[in-house]
Amino acid sequence: MAYKVFISPEDRAGNVYAGTALWNGKTTNEKEQMGRLADDLEMALKRCGFEVINAQYGDMYDRVRDSNAWPADLHVAPHTNGFDGTVAGTRVHCYPSEKSRLIGRLIQERIAPLSPGTSDRLVESTNLYELRSTHMPAVLPEFGFHDNPEEAQWLIDNMETIAEETAQAVCEYFDVPYIAPEKQIDLPPEPVELPEVLYRVQVGAFRIRENAEAYLEKVQNAGFPEAFVTEVKS
């Protein structure tokens, strides 16, 4: 039986990323980037055998209702953070329960060393709705500060890596083997089997066929019984 993970990414487009941090040459926001993260995380978890709902709809009340009704085995609400543009680091929020604390720590330990920020911490909280109202272990990772220019660009450029690291943390939490993305392997081209090459030796050319056949008889008598006469148009 597959474990079930409910992904509820932040959906506020008004949380803009630092203006110098560009995605496809344009400025971006938390909704766009956490949508990317949720899509990558969904693919990674499904590859590892999980059932996943990627809930990019409604509001947090709709999502908590659906997560509880499913019911999910784990609720993950991906976010990024914002303050004054100077702070950077990974802060993972979890409900103060043993299981929520464990998944929070596993994500924190994988993401924090990768980000350029140093303001890292695991935060236990009963105030966040998606943590206190879900019936299963729940975690709300803030992977970095999107208003810090350096960290905002790091987030944009490393979203797939962040998703894969989060998937590995989820696999470790459930004691499920992590399956890495398939890597393209450059194989040498298969050898082409060339047709057999035959080399023929011509020992004479005659305008009159009788002369050719008389010479053929001499060649055969000389120890080449497979010799033959063929007609070639001049």
- Cα 38 to Cα 89, 118, 204, distances in angstroms: 20, 24, 80
Q: Give the start-to-end residue ranges of the domains of the chain.
A: 4-174
Residue with the bigger pLDDT between 222 and 164: it is 164
Q: Please, where are the H alpha helices in the chain?
A: 30-47, 60-69, 98-111, 129-132, 149-157, 159-174, 209-221
pLDDT (tens digit per residue) in 92-127: 999 999 999 999 999 999 999 999 999 999 999 999
- CB–CB of 156/91 below 8 Å? no
Q: Given 3.40.50.300, 3.20.20.70, 3.40.630.40, 1.10.8.60, which CATH number is that of 4-174?
A: 3.40.630.40
Phi and psi at residue 38, to the nearest 5° = -60, -40
Tens of pLDDT, residues 11-67: 999 999 999 999 999 999 999 999 999 999 999 999 999 999 999 999 999 999 999
Dihedral sign (CA 142, 146, 152, 155): positive
pLDDT at 205: 65
C-alpha dihedral (202, 203, 208, 212), degrees to nearest 10:
-110
Q: Is the pTM of this model over 0.85?
A: no
